[in-house]
Chain A
Amino acid sequence: MRDLTVRLDALDPQASAALRVIAYFDDLTAHGATLQAIVRGAAVLAAVPAALVDEARRVRIRVDAQGRTGTPAASPDPAWPSVPAGSAVLWLEHSGPPRPADAMVLERAAAAATAVLDRTRGRADPHDTASVETLLDPASSPQARTTAARRLGLPASARIRAVALHDGTALLRVAADPEDEPAPGTRPAPAAGHVAPAPEGARAGVGPAVDVDGLPDSWEAARTALRLTAEGTPDDPGPRVVHADEAGGLLALARAVGPDSPKIPDVTAVEHAARAAPWVLATLDAVAGASSVRAAAAALRIHHSTLQERLAHAERLIGWSLADTPGRFRLHLALVLRRLHRPPPP
């Protein structure tokens, strides 16, 4: 009659547990249960607190084993079992030896939560390029912009970066929280919302974080930053990813200099030197970017005395000394200008 508290650990823990978990979340889904009900189901069945966090969609739900709601941590403790649920993360606050039912509960709850997120918060389609293009186009009407943002599941308060890939692809990256986002260059910020993550290691220019209305500007900056990137090979040394935020005055330089601008003699000299030996460009790039010759040698993985010899040779080829900071700065500018003279990517 009563006191039949529904808890998985109170039930037959073996074969039927899996069926019960499946039926539990299938029932919730079939009856249009809310995200909170799904998270509560996970908490109740696992008898530990459960949480669902999707920063891009402003979903932050935590429910304890008694069903009470609260505020979740920003991210799960690494010891807790967690799974992605579309663009969200779902976890159980259980440390200690893994329990077989946890994985099943997480998997089924994540599937149910993803369905609700897609239904209620806009469908997640990372390849909705039409919506992305609408947001990047300064000519789009405010109404079209609003619709596109909604289709992509971007809340009005979201901070977003436009990302320009070398193959011409445009991506959006949600900057969830300024504190949550790793410093540019350390590692890619986690993709969130409905926007696709940049492929690992892709050559890219990254625009500044802006609100939805600022995306055309972020896109322009990302495209400009992309022109400062290189393949990162001995033939084309340089950074594969450039953040507009960090490019500083080079961004102004990039806007002023293009393929049709006349080349200054320093660029011609560098190009001439590059043709003299296969190691020249990589050596020049390493020296321009390193704090010392010793550090440059380490980056190039050659002996410090070898580098000294090559440097003397390169200085003769380009025609100026690299022994002091102004000389290395002059080289750095010449290398950047060389990239900016190339035809822009598609």
Chain B
Amino acid sequence: MTIDRPVGPPPPFDPELVPALRIINEFLAPDALADPAVLAALNDRPSLMEPPTDEALARDGAFTVEERSVPGPEGAPDVGLLICRPAAAREPVPVLYHTHGGGMVTGNNRMGLPEMLDLAADVGAAVVSVEYRLAPGAPHPGPVEDCYAGLRWTAEHAAELGADPARVIVGGASAGGGLAAALALMARDRGGPALAGQLLLCPMLDDRNDTPSAVQMAGLGVWDRASNGAGWTALLGDARGTDAVSPYAAPARATDLSDLPPAFIDVGSAETFRDEDVAYATRIWQAGGRAELHVWAGGFHGFDMMAPQAAVSQDARAARLHWLRRLLGR
């Protein structure tokens, strides 16, 4: 997907998203995370990304909320799992195994969880959200191996969790979408756990960071090319952009996209990841796989989570839910 012809101007943002983005950019410039000082400040200011409390996650008793510490990858520390189960469930429930976003460099396993719980509440699923180590403190494969260890534990302990191991869906947004895509590749290549689907929301897939959309959107929106480059460098160091990069770090590097669980991929048309996400869906189809792709016109990165009231955000969330219902036969 490298550029072989000039790109046009950036596609316009959705009219309703423009004023929201103006306010968001006051707190978070498009290239904010390219600056280590800003990143440090962001990680020190939980007020900007206030994590939901246990009480908020419980949703008036609809979910039970539990923190577990489970074995991590070989030779690595334990991995934290935040487990939210539908309190009223009598039968084994599907599981949304959630990998949070944050460019591989920030965030925690409560970030993006409310959106996952919205989906889970509708289809009667549990959510297990993994607390993986962040780059650059833990470069590749630290983060994705933490996620895989948590996934394997979840599948192996499904009965204990009241979950159905045949209906485990990996999912996440942004870096979390990239991690979820990587988990699907790892589960295929390592013989398990079996996955029922992969929910990839504006996923961060390609360390090369050189698509037309990455170039077009530089300096605009949320998480532009500079931020993205910084995230990938934190994860991969000098290896970023070289042939040495593993598909488990950057799923766009995978040469084989066959035999993957059904994928849902969505992305805004006005964001860095547009082209790599469209390409990923296209390559799944070309490999004979199942994928559903939604490109939301004028959406910036994470628009549906940062400006959830906008009409296009509501439609994006509805499309996700509808896919999940079809997948689970609900």
Contact = CB atoms under 8 A, between A and B. Distances in A.
Contacts of B311: 36-37, 40, 67
A2 B306 contact: yes
Interface string B27-47: 110000000000000000000
B22 A23 contact: yes
A111 B37 CA distance: 41
B111 A3 contact: yes
A208 interface: no
Interface stretch (B102-110, B152-160, B268-276): B102-110
B23 A6 contact: yes
Nearest to B101: A1
A1 B310 contact: no
B28 to A, nearest CB: 7
Nearest to A32: B15
Nearest to B223: A1
Contacts of B305: 2-3
Contacts of B308: 5, 66-67
Interface string B174-196: 10000000000000000000000
B309 A66 contact: yes
Nearest to A67: B309
Contacts of B302: 1-2
Contacts of B174: 1-2
Nearest to B112: A2
Interface string A24-37: 11011011111011
A27 B174 CA distance: 27
Contacts of B306: 2-6
Nearest to B306: A4
Interface string B14-32: 0110111011100110000
A23 to B, nearest CB: 6
B26 to A, nearest CB: 9
A31 B22 CA distance: 13
B15 A28 contact: yes
B48 interface: yes
A4 B301 CA distance: 12
Interface in A11-61: 11, 20, 23-25, 27-28, 30-34, 36-37, 40-41, 43-44
Interface residues of A, number: 28
A68 interface: yes
Contacts of A65: 309
Interface size class of chain B, counting residues whose CB lies under 8 Å from the partner chain: 35 or more
A1 B107 contact: yes
B100 to A, nearest CB: 9
Interface string B46-73: 0011100000000000000000000000
Contacts of A36: 311
Nearest to B28: A4
A40 B310 CA distance: 8
Contacts of A34: 15-16
Given A1-B106, A4-B27, A4-B28, A31 B15 contact: yes
A122 B105 CA distance: 52
B321 interface: no
Contact of B18 (A20, A31, A43, A66): A31
Contacts of A67: 308-311, 313-314
A147 to B, nearest CB: 30
B12 to A, nearest CB: 7
Contacts of B22: 23-24, 27
A11 B309 contact: no
B324 interface: no
A43 B223 CA distance: 27
B19 A41 contact: yes
B232 to A, nearest CB: 15
Contacts of A30: 18
Contacts of B13: 31
Nearest to A2: B305
Nearest to A5: B308
Contacts of A66: 308-309
Interface of B: 12-13, 15-16, 18-20, 22-24, 27-28, 48-50, 101-103, 106-107, 111-112, 114, 173-174, 222-223, 302, 305-311, 313-314
11 contacts: A1-B106, A2-B112, A2-B305, A5-B307, A6-B24, A31-B12, A31-B13, A32-B15, A33-B15, A40-B16, A40-B309
3 closest residue pairs by CB, A with B? A67-B309, A31-B15, A27-B19
Given A23-B19, A41-B19, 20 more contacts: A1-B102, A1-B106, A1-B174, A1-B223, A2-B101, A2-B174, A2-B302, A3-B112, A3-B114, A3-B306, A6-B20, A24-B23, A28-B15, A28-B16, A28-B19, A33-B16, A37-B311, A40-B311, A44-B309, A66-B308
